[in-house]
A and B are shown apart, each in its own frame.
Chain A
């Protein structure tokens, strides 16, 4: 090697050349698909890129971020920290940090250039603005990876929140009124994001330099604050009344606050600024409200995957000896986890509902929501109670859906078999990809066009209900009746919420759309019976027992 910089770049290439090849292949495939679709399009048809092209582009960009995951693992953590062995190189810390950051920026800009035509076809954003956002994304990504290493895999969720924030920033100039006011112009937003990216870069550099000097503390000096919060919220210092109470304290302290914190974070950095900027646009209020309500459910998916493991912050799926020797049965431990998930969900939704109340009652533009409420009121024979009831049902069903995402993978995570956990994650990714490829937004229209099309859906749901409840009867054998009673209450409340909301929606759909109302009602009832996990939670204690005795 002629220089340390070349050596650093060569190392990135050497470690990730297969991934780079995959990025090139995806890009080539995406461009071919795009050319074929564009040439086969009728004159006057919409010029947007197809979902398949967008999906291939997304995969290429995601893989590129994988290439610049500039960390190395140590111990049981899957996502590591800045490679410590590089500290021995005869180069400054600034260069150690700058080389991967600049290489990442150059690569993502090159990739964007290759995808420029299909991704900028609608012409809503100027390419330089998108290029600034992409460069900033790479800087934030590396800053989070290097500076928050103690957060483990949760860094990916944090990056997800930042990526969503950047996406929202990218949307701001396109919102009405157009052209946007100066505060929402591409120049101002681009400058703001670039400034934040420079600050993040400087923070990363300072952190790496400190670590290199032997000071291994986090760049974000929140440790004293966290210690103070822990001290203040420690509660009674008396001995725990039961081993289950001690286990609850342990679980809550290690993972209970993660979902509420993430929900609060996205409200603070995404929803609040955006809702303020578009406060004069009634149509946007409704869209932002929907996005805010969906956020806990979406965030509960990655949090639920981490929560399903025996230890939230570790990539090791074996039960730690510390937990394995507790004087608690596996059912006790699972019951504690289910309770912690419920409280975590409640807190997350409490934060969300308080925010929504403050937002809508102060700076929210209520015109579109008012129309919706009046339409619901008129449809339900002028009943204000019905409108409030529907709003309460939406919140309740959202809470149960969040809690469901939190606990539904316990059975596979506690089993300790990586293949099972990865399999359940892959199933989520597959559903998302399939949804994009097959343009899932067109599914309702396709179903409505011919009622015979949802006949198979009702039979599939019927078979799934039979399989679920018989598996539940098997999985819950030998479990303490008190747990079954308590969980059945939870199941009943959740199922009743989904059923009530489903029937309310069905009641409206059957009046407005040409449907086979009876069959659609059957589908709604069967889906409500499938929504709350029963068999999977029943299987979790036996999974944990197996893993516990293996440890």
Chain B
């Protein structure tokens, strides 16, 4: 036997036995007989629950959840019909989704109060959740959220098809005063490298809508007693992927605000 390679073979054999045994542990909860996938991580006095944007699996929080898990208990999950969760009953509007989340958290023995974090469409859902279960919510972090009246194209996705109903429910939802409500307005990076002329033109068209969106965010946050607007020019809409540290810092601020309140 070649001695250096025998040493290498020994080390790599140990690695080859250790690695396949490593696996992520997901929690499966049954809501109305339908299985939903959840990833619970970390410990802490606060419980942070993440709500995805349209169509995404819980992995979209993959850059944020591990960081937040260092100082809080965190929960990400696949909404029914997304990721590896089973389909849920129609219509897939905000109220149904919020109710299912509430049941799923109870099933998994995750006690309130929760700091809710919603990205994009998830922003509407956590607002509806906060209106339905005000005593269970200790704070909201809205990450470049969808707003009532946003021009989203209805598609085959059941959640987008139910969007008009969800808009009405979000508009009617009352958020308990005194809890921290933090909203991240991502305006996008003004200049991007590698862009061709065609790509720049496309971005310029999209950026024309930004002032109206920002104004709507500002007006909405001003109506919230504990509201604060955080504006960033260092990220586009996918803030959890492009600027995860901002989301983590904002959640930290919400937890501190919850303590103070």
Contacts and interface: CB of A to CB of B under 8 A. Distances in A.
Interface of A: 282, 366-367, 370-371, 373-374, 377-379, 381-382, 384, 387, 449-451, 455, 458-459, 461-463, 465-466, 469-470, 472-474, 476-479, 484, 488, 510-519, 521-522, 525-526, 529, 534
Most chain B beta carbons < 10 A, residue from A370, A373, A513 = A370
B1 A473 contact: yes
B215 interface: no
A387 to B, nearest CB: 7
A534 B2 CA distance: 13
In this complex, the interface size class of chain B, counting residues with CB under 8 Å from chain A, is 35 or more
Given A377-B192, A469-B9, A470-B9, A462 B23 contact: no
Interface string B205-224: 00000000000000000000
Interface stretch (B55-63, B92-100, B122-130): B55-63
B3 to A, nearest CB: 8
Contacts of B242: 378-379, 381-382
A379 B243 CA distance: 9
Contacts of A373: 193-194
Contacts of A472: 2, 5, 8-9
A387 B195 CA distance: 13
Contacts of B193: 373-374, 377, 384, 387
27 contacts: A370-B198, A377-B193, A377-B194, A378-B189, A378-B235, A378-B236, A378-B238, A378-B242, A381-B243, A381-B244, A451-B24, A458-B19, A461-B16, A461-B20, A462-B17, A466-B9, A466-B12, A466-B13, A469-B8, A470-B13, A473-B5, A473-B9, A511-B62, A513-B59, A514-B78, A525-B15, A534-B5
A484 B8 CA distance: 13
**Which 9 A-B residue pairings sit nearest by Cβ, starting from the closest?**
A469-B9, A522-B19, A373-B194, A458-B20, A514-B57, A473-B5, A462-B16, A465-B16, A514-B83
Contacts of A462: 16-17, 19-20
A469 B5 CA distance: 7
Contacts of A384: 193-194
Interface of B: 1-2, 4-6, 8-9, 12-13, 15-17, 19-20, 22-24, 26, 37, 57-60, 62-63, 78, 83-84, 189, 192-196, 198-199, 234-236, 238, 241-244
A32 to B, nearest CB: 37
Most chain A beta carbons < 10 A, residue from B2, B17, B244 = B2
B16 to A, nearest CB: 4
B6 A465 contact: no
A314 to B, nearest CB: 33
Contacts of A519: 20, 22-24
Contact of B198 (A367, A458, A473): A367
Given A381-B242, A465-B12, A472-B5, A387 B83 contact: no
Contacts, number: 139
A525 B62 CA distance: 19
Contact of A374 (B199, B234, B241): B199
B63 to A, nearest CB: 7
Contact of A473 (B6, B15, B17, B63): B6
Given A378-B236, A462-B16, A518 B24 contact: yes
A371 B199 CA distance: 7
Contacts of B196: 366-367, 370
Contact of B194 (A370, A458, A476): A370
A453 to B, nearest CB: 12
A514 B58 contact: yes
Contacts of B63: 511
B70 to A, nearest CB: 17
A473 B2 contact: yes
Contacts of A525: 15, 19
B12 A529 contact: yes
B8 A455 contact: no
A526 B15 CA distance: 9
B8 A518 contact: no
A526 B9 contact: no
A455 B20 contact: yes
Contacts of B83: 514
A479 B16 contact: no
Contacts of A282: 198
A466 B59 contact: no
Contacts of B195: 370, 374
A418 to B, nearest CB: 30
B2 A484 contact: yes
Contacts of A466: 9, 12-13, 16-17
Most chain A beta carbons < 10 A, residue from B17, B24, B189 = B24
Contacts of A377: 192-194
B220 to A, nearest CB: 26
Given A282-B198, A379-B241, A459-B20, 17 more contacts: A370-B196, A374-B193, A377-B194, A379-B242, A458-B19, A462-B16, A462-B17, A466-B17, A473-B2, A474-B1, A477-B2, A511-B60, A514-B83, A518-B23, A518-B24, A521-B22, A529-B16
B211 to A, nearest CB: 22
Nearest to A457: B20
Most chain B beta carbons < 10 A, residue from A378, A458, A512 = A378
B2 A476 contact: yes
Contacts of A513: 57, 59
Contacts of A484: 2, 4-5
Contact of A517 (B2, B15, B62, B238): B62
Contacts of A474: 1-2
A387 B194 contact: yes
Contacts of B234: 382
A458 B24 CA distance: 14
Contact of B22 (A473, A479, A518, A534): A518
Contacts of A479: 2
A370 B23 contact: no
Nearest to B20: A458
Nearest to A469: B9
Nearest to B192: A374
Nearest to A366: B196
Contacts of B238: 378
Contacts of A461: 16, 20
Contacts of B8: 469, 472-473
Nearest to B37: A514
Contacts of A518: 22-24
A466 B20 CA distance: 13
A371 B15 CA distance: 38
A493 to B, nearest CB: 15
